[in-house]
Amino acid sequence: MNMLKGFVADESGAVTVDWVVLTAAIVGLGIAVITSIAVGTGSVGSAVGGSLSAGEVAALRFDQITDLRDQ
């Protein structure tokens, strides 16, 4: 009976459970933050990609460059 009372009163395993719960909470919070950031950056990346693909780059030939130097 004394062994059973000692086992019930022992709290050394409770610290391990606390650490496991805290670690799980931190990992879950990290996953939530990464997910929300990934969604935001995905939409920003799509907007930037659309702007870049719609843009035009002026074409300049070599003879036009030499003509500009002569002026």
Q: Please name the residue that has the structure tokens 């933050």.
A: 33
Q: For residues 32 and 40, what is the distance between their CA atoms, to the nearest angstrom?
A: 13
The pLDDT score that the predictor gives to residue 17 is 83
In order along the chain (71 residues), what is the average pLDDT of each group of 10 residues?
Answer: 79 79 96 88 82 71 59 57
The pLDDT score that the predictor gives to residue 34 is 92
